[in-house]
Structure 1
Amino acid sequence: MYIVAIGWAYVILMMAITASSVGKALAIVIFLGALPISLFVYAVGGRKRRVPSTTVPDQVADQRNAADPETD
């Protein structure tokens, strides 16, 4: 997933380097680079945000077992 973002950043960086002025280069980096890459990473990383974490219930269960060893 990140290889696509890295490749896109490289292409945009090359476009910004060949721009005729600093203002155009900054506009290219912001509007064609930073915004689309952040949107892409947010959209593709959505699966990780939607999957519930199972470590918290496991930690609670471990604490209950550690508090009362006679339950086993």
Structure 2
Amino acid sequence: MYVIAIGWLYVTLLMAATEENLTAGVLTFVFYGLAPLALLLWLFGTPQRRRKRLAREMVDDVVGQDDGADARRDQ
């Protein structure tokens, strides 16, 4: 997946280099390269973020449970 992203950035960088002025080159790189790629990587990363969040919640639930093994102040 990252190979495709690097290739896409390379192509858009070359497209930006052929623009007539600096502003057009920067805008080409940002709007054809960075913005769509950031959106694509964010969308494809959503399932992994969801799995990590659920795993973290499961660990928090297990850690937060009282097993009755530790003594309290009044015992």
- Would you call these one fold, judging by a TM-score over 0.5? yes
Q: CA offsets, 1:32-69, max 9 Å, x none?
A: 0111011011111111122144356447647878x948
Equivalences, count:
68
Per the alignment, do residues 23 and 55 of structure 1 end up closer, same or farther by CA in structure 2, a change over 3 Å counting? closer
RMSD of Structure 2 on Structure 1 (CA)? 2.1
Structure 2, gaps ≥5 residues long: 71-75
Structure with larger RCO (C-alpha < 8 A, sep 6+): 1
Q: Which residue of 1 aligns with 2:11?
A: 11
Q: Which has more helix, going by share of residues?
A: 1
TM norm structure 2: 0.69
My pick for the range that moved more, 54-63 or 13-22, is 54-63
TM norm structure 1: 0.71
